[in-house]
Amino acid sequence: MTSTIVPPAALTRKDFASDADVRWCPGCGDYAILATVQGVMPDLGVPRERLVFVSGIGCSSRFPYYMNTYGFHSIHGRAPAIATGISATRPDLKVFVITGDGDGLSIGGNHLIHALRRNVALTIILFNNQIYGLTKGQYSPTSELGKITKSTPFGSLDHPFNPVSLALGAEATFVARSMDTEREHLAEMVEAASRHKGAAFLEVYQNCNIFNDGAFAALKDAPAENQIRLEHGRPILFGPDHERGVVAEPNGSVRIAEVAEVGLDRVIVHDAHRDDPTLAFAVSRLAHTPSGPTPLGIFRQVSRPTYGELVEGQVAAAVDRRGPGDLAALLAGSDTWQIT
């Protein structure tokens, strides 16, 4: 029996949809993200045989079952570690990590930040619904302060993570944010993250209509007033008539101001390719939770050698100096003892 590899250009979104029944709650934002990712795949020009989706545990982590590619439904929080192994040993593969705010930022937080700082060639898509959905509504690392849930009946005392700030703090070379209901923008962000060479981190606000419905209503219901769209090379303006903008303060922070009061020349021109992540980090702090004006788009996109490239270079240099390695000798070491 032989198989035929279909050229990527001939594929459509349906070719990337598996025959598995998609099982999320009716109305879940995961459906929109899945459809968007499947729709972007043909445009990447990568054969299905070279695509791998790795997930951890959670509602989002069912994702590999629904993609007609290679996939690995791994263990809680460990998807970045497993994906790192795949990426480093098989540079010919395009590796995605699908995770959630609980899976990726709680038990998996350590693995996530190290994958980002190492610049492993991974496209990491984090579904953020600010709640634990699979285990039925406990607060998560991104739930707002005072959040009342089954596990915090008197309100959460934990200060939440800002995932974009976290990724920028780890000096990820690509950091972006979108949301499930903004399908065109989401597709643009997924494609940009997928084409990035290195560790790409995309946070997607995803509505859990069962346990945390309306968490992103401010951005969905009043997009002109609350979505601050970041576009490289353009002033950071928003509002129905672009009457508001983001300006820098002498202390290094940024704030929202009325353009008529401060002047257009004071509005920051967004530079996603700036090597220093300080300004991008400041912009990410404009909104700690999406209950008001919140930045969406690409915060940072810079170039740096990937972890896999550095490993290959190190191995090649060692071979040049010492010749091919001897695995048995390496495992045995230089000192051995015989116990009688």
Residues in the chain: 340
Q: Does residue 253 lie within any of the structural domains?
A: no
Q: Does residue 242 lie within any of the structural domains?
A: no
How far is CA 237 from each of CA 40, 54, 115, 166, 174, rounded to the nearest angstrom?
28, 37, 33, 24, 22
Report whether pLDDT(5) > 90.
no
Domain range for 12: 8-215
Report whether pLDDT(292) > 60.
yes
Q: What is the DSSP string of 300-331?
A: EE-----HHHHHHHHHHHHHHHH-S--HHHHH
Q: What total number of domains does the chain contain?
A: 1
Q: Does residue 182 lie within any of the structural domains?
A: yes
Q: Does residue 29 lie within any of the structural domains?
A: yes
pLDDT in tens, 189-248: 999 999 999 999 999 999 999 999 999 999 999 999 999 999 999 999 999 999 999 999
Q: Does residue 238 lie within any of the structural domains?
A: no
Report whether pLDDT(9) > 70.
no
**Whole-model pTM?**
0.93
Q: Does residue 252 lie within any of the structural domains?
A: no
The C-alpha atoms of residue 340 and residue 334 are separated, in whole angstroms, by 20
CATH of residue 68's domain is: 3.40.50.970
Report whether pLDDT(173) > 70.
yes
Q: Does residue 255 lie within any of the structural domains?
A: no
Q: Does residue 126 lie within any of the structural domains?
A: yes
pLDDT in tens, 52-76: 999 999 999 999 999 999 999 999 9
